Homo-oligomer: A and B are copies of this chain.
Amino acid sequence: MTKIAFRTRIEDLRRRELIQAAHRVFMQHGLGGMTTKRICEEAGMSPGILSYYFKGKEDVLFAMVRLNNRLLMEAVATGLAQATTRWGRLEAIIAGNFPEGLFETNIANAWLSVCAASATNQRYARLQRIFYARLQSNLASVFRDALPDARFKQIALALGTMIDGLWLRRATGEALSPQDSTTLVLSVAVALLTEAERAQLAA
């Protein structure tokens, strides 16, 4: 009993350490420069340890991407919980997609690599789908019952696409701060909505 409990505790700890080390290596060297040796070195362990706690390098990578996505989704969730009006929720969703400390060139770049890899990696593709579904669902919670279906979809698509585009530009080095990015997306949201619709969302 105690045996299993301890074993699990150590396993989880080492896994977490390796995933976080992988994350740091990813940020610094990109998807291509992420070698098992570097990951283990970053974690302060020997190169063979990775195979002991994971099935292989792919497993660590996958866990790392999942962690990254979770961080982003949590940033949005935190903001959403504090919002009271629909418009406030919209602001929270948009701002949450450019979190201070996460909306950085290297992270954006890493995310881009994963998007590209999604084409040939089914597990990544699945993670991406989950992520986008969540974004869509969050936006739906703002517009549902306030806008006709077709209109909601167009607006959600436009805003989601802009968020993606801003991340892409962040990856290429073009500096646009989290605040400026949020402002830009919100200005498009304002432009796309009629005055009546805006009033409805402010309530």
What residues make up the interface of A, taking CB atoms closer than 8 Å to B? 29-33, 105-106, 109, 112-113, 115-120, 125, 128, 132, 154, 157-158, 160-166, 168-169, 171-174, 184, 187-188, 191-192
Contacts and interface: CB of A to CB of B under 8 A. Distances in A.
Contact of A115 (B31, B106, B112, B154): B112
**Consensus secondary structure, chain A interface:** helix
B31 A116 contact: yes
A145 to B, nearest CB: 22
A20 B65 CA distance: 33
A109 B105 contact: no
A117 B29 CA distance: 10
Q: Which of A31, A158, A166 has the most B CB atoms < 10 Å from its CB?
A: A158
Nearest to A110: B116
A53 B195 CA distance: 62
B115 A168 contact: yes
A186 to B, nearest CB: 11
Given A109-B116, A112-B112, A192 B188 contact: yes
